[in-house]
């Protein structure tokens, strides 16, 4: 019975959160990626940070700008991107797509070279409201390298969303 009550409370909280996804609202979303859960083909587990910010162009549809950094033993990645999110009506679940440019800097032990690649990224997550304007946003993401499969990346991230 206790579990049913908790589920009902969570559903009511997510239903009241719909007003935050309206046209003209702003979103800021800092995230921590990796957390030892992100792994790409041919490289070690990574740790990174991502900051997104944007505006709701219409109800449930947000346009976002992304800045990020990711650190590994062999190279560092700095990212700049643009994308969008669609929030499914009144429940907090969202799906996002975007386009990113990554600049890779290899460590001095690997020659110190750099490379730039372009990625299509997709994510699915949930905006869990802890207050009227602040969310915890766990998400699953996939980055597809448009130059080949060398830097494809699949992982989990946890972020905080601030809606105003």
Per-residue tokens: 71: 């650190």
User: Distance (Å, rounded) from C-alpha 38 to C-alpha 152?
Assistant: 11
Per-residue pLDDT, averaged over 57-73, amounts to: 89
Q: Which residues contact 1 (CB under 8 A, 6 or more apart)?
A: none
Mean pLDDT of the chain: 80
Regarding pTM above 0.95, the answer is no
| CATH number of the CATH domain containing 46 | 2.40.160.20
| pLDDT above 50 (res 17) | no
Tally the domains of the chain.
Answer: 1
Between 148 and 9, residue with greater pLDDT: 148
User: Distance (Å, rounded) from C-alpha 75 to C-alpha 7?
Assistant: 43
pLDDT band at 149 (very low <50, low <70, confident <90, very high): low
- Best CA proximity match to 27, nearest among 148, 154, 129, 144: 129
Residue range of the domain that includes 49: 2-163
User: Quick check: 156 and 140 in contact, CB under 8 A?
Assistant: yes
């Amino acid at each position: 019975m206790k579990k049913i009550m908790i589920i009902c409370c969570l559903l009511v909280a997510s239903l009241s959160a719909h007003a935050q996804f309206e046209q003209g609202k702003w979103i800021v979303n800092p995230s921590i990626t990796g957390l030892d859960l992100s792994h790409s083909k041919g490289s070690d587990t990574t740790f990174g940070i991502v900051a997104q910010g944007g505006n709701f162009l219409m109800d449930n549809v947000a346009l976002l700008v992304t800045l990020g950094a990711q650190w590994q033993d062999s190279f560092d990645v700095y990212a700049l991107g643009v994308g969008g999110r669609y929030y499914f009506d009144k429940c907090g679940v969202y799906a996002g797509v975007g386009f990113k440019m990554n600049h890779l800097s290899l460590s001095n032990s690997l020659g110190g070279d750099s490379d730039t690649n372009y990625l299509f990224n997709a994510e699915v997550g949930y905006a869990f409201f802890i207050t009227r304007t602040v969310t915890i946003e766990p998400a699953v993401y996939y980055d597809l390298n448009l130059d080949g499969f060398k830097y494809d990346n699949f992982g989990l991230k946890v972020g905080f969303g601030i809606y105003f």
